[in-house]
Amino acid sequence: MTDTDLARQVRDVSRLTGEFVLRSGRTATEYFDKYQFESDPELLDRLAERLAVLIPEGTEVLAGLEMGGIAVVTALGRHAKLPCAFVRKQAKAYGTARLAEGAEVAGRRVLVVEDVVTSGGQVVISTEELRRLGAHVDHAVCVIDRQEGGTEALAKAGIMLRALLTRADLEAAAA
């Protein structure tokens, strides 16, 4: 499967049109329903296989962000043979009461894994929290970069974003 074929498949299963409120509060007329590609085991596996080559050398832990990044990080961990941490938006008040469950992040080189990046806000927030826990984070990967300022916002926070697909890739695949 070529990169264009993969982009077309992701676009075909996940692109919705209408009026959608994004996490940033902005309204969009186009939305990528990540759960559509995350719930297809064959497509998710192909995406994870391609994402694995974007992992920076020296990465010790993959950290998937709640909720969409969890399916992606689990599939990616299989291909990369790296342990995973599952990062909540807020630590729970019960059980382990941890923000990051699974693999230990303190003192380790951690790669943040997200499904779709728009403004980059949640990646920045979660990276700050992981850094407070002692993680060394300077990169993030995502399946789709909507190219709406996320890359720039992450760069300002000292995070380099590597995207498997961009909005431009998805648009080109439709042609």
Query: Which residues are annotated as part of the binding site?
Result: 23, 88-89, 92, 114-122, 146
Within 8 A by CB and 6+ apart from 6, the residues are: 46, 47, 50, 165
At which residue do the structure tokens 């961009």 appear? 166
DSSP 108-173: SEEEEEEEEESS-HHHHHHHHHHHHTT-EEEEEEEEEE--SSHHHHHHHTT-EEEEEEEHHHHHHH
Known binding positions for orotate: 118, 146
The answer to whether 161 touches 51, Cβ cutoff 8 Å, is: no
Q: What's the rounded Cα separation, in Å, for the pair 21 and 147?
A: 17
Known binding positions for 5-phospho-alpha-D-ribose 1-diphosphate: 23, 88-89, 92, 114-122
Q: In the beta sheet, which residues pair with residue 85?
A: 63, 102
Residue 66 DSSP SS3:
coil
